[in-house]
């Protein structure tokens, strides 16, 4: 054990024009733990994930994965680190033009195409592998032959989760995993997320507005407000943090230190 966090962020800043979205974020995520990030719309949650994924270049700061700064690492090393991340998008983000099994195996097939001389995965093998992963998220492998448009919202979330875990990633990101789901299906998806994270031994970061979900899937929690981390602690303490801003947010109170702001 080196004590190096799986993900280590220091001084992260990102602005869009005059809007400072991330304003000096310092954050550690230990290997094998799940962190939930909460905060209002526009607080910087999604931008934080996209910076780690390399989809947005921050203005300042460092992002380390396994002790390597992904912002300054050589291209191939950076790509390898980013490839170790699986992502469940807010609306599943499935490809309507592909059957479910190919959505699940999309990353595996993409890596297959990039191989040179190494053992290649046939489409039949990829389809079988997709069926196994669908079973892990509670779907019959026969679902693989369907189109995403034929699935309910809950089933689409499960397929999105299956795709996220297909390559057995070291890190998993979840963007509002229960959005659009009823409370029962939300609890089902949360349970699947917890099971998948534990089975893989992955490190996870989730962003959510759902406080029940946050407590179910998180070991630790953090709250963003105006681009700054204003609180970090155990996810089980979210509803009784003692921080007036966190308490107002988690209990959905209109009155409190967080005022309604005009969106620009």
Residue-wise pLDDT for 114-154, tens only, equals 544 445 678 898 999 999 999 999 999 999 999 999 999 88
Instruction: Check whether residue 210 and residue 248 sit in a common domain.
Output: yes
Distance CA 134, CA 203 (A): 21
Instruction: Check whether residue 224 and residue 262 sit in a common domain.
Output: yes
User: What is the reported pLDDT for 109?
Assistant: 80
Instruction: Check whether residue 76 and residue 186 sit in a common domain.
Output: yes
User: What is the reported pLDDT for 115?
Assistant: 47
Q: Is the pLDDT assigned to residue 260 strictly greater than 70?
A: no
Instruction: Check whether residue 79 and residue 99 sit in a common domain.
Output: no
Instruction: Check whether residue 100 and residue 62 sit in a common domain.
Output: no
3-state secondary structure 118-157: CCCCCHHHHHHHHHHHHHHCCCCHHHHHCCHHHCCHHHHH
Give the long-range contacts of residues 239-244, CB within 8 A, separation 24 or more.
Answer: 239/211, 239/215
Instruction: Check whether residue 149 and residue 127 sit in a common domain.
Output: yes
Whichever domain contains 17, its CATH number is 3.40.50.300
User: What is the reported pLDDT for 14?
Assistant: 96
Domain of residue 123: give its range: 92-168
Instruction: Check whether residue 189 and residue 58 sit in a common domain.
Output: yes
Comparison of pLDDT for 121 and 156, the residue scoring more: 156
- Look at the chain and report how many structural domains it folds into: 2
Report which secondary-structure segment, H or E, holds 111.
Answer: helix 106-114
Q: What percent of the chain has pLDDT over 90?
A: 70
Output the CA–CA distances (angstroms, integers) from residue 107 to 75, 178, 258, in the order listed: 19, 23, 41
User: What is the reported pLDDT for 117?
Assistant: 44
Q: Which region among 65-69, 73-77, 87-91, 149-153 has the lowest average model confidence (pLDDT)?
A: 87-91
Mean pLDDT of 183-191: 92
Length, in residues, of the chain = 264
User: What is the reported pLDDT for 16?
Assistant: 94
Model pTM greater than 0.85? yes
Instruction: Check whether residue 46 and residue 68 sit in a common domain.
Output: yes
């Amino acid at each position: 054990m080196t004590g190096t966090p799986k993900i280590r962020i220091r001084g992260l800043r990102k602005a869009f024009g005059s809007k400072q979205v991330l304003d000096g974020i310092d954050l550690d995520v230990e290997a094998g733990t799940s962190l939930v990030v909460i905060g209002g719309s526009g607080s910087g949650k999604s931008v934080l994930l996209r910076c780690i994924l390399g989809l947005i270049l921050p203005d300042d700061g460092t992002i380390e994965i396994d002790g390597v700064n992904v912002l300054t690492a050589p291209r191939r090393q950076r790509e390898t680190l980013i490839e170790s991340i699986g992502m469940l998008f807010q609306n599943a983000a499935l490809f309507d033009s592909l059957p479910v099994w190919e959505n699940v195996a999309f990353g595996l097939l993409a890596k297959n195409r990039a191989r040179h001389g190494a053992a290649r995965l046939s489409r039949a093998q990829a389809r079988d592998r997709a069926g196994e992963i669908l079973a892990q998220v509670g779907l019959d492998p026969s679902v693989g032959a369907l189109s995403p448009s034929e699935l309910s919202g809950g089933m689409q979330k499960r397929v999105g989760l299956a795709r996220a875990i297909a390559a057995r990633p070291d890190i998993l990101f979840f963007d509002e995993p229960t959005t659009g789901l009823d409370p029962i299906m939300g609890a089902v998806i949360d349970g699947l997320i917890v099971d998948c994270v534990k089975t893989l031994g992955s490190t996870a970061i989730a962003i959510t507005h759902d406080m029940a979900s946050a407590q179910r899937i998180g070991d630790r929690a953090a709250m963003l407000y105006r681009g700054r981390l204003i609180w970090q602690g155990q996810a089980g303490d979210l509803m009784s943090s003692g921080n007036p801003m966190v308490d107002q947010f988690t209990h959905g109170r209109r009155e409190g230190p967080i005022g309604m702001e005009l969106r620009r």
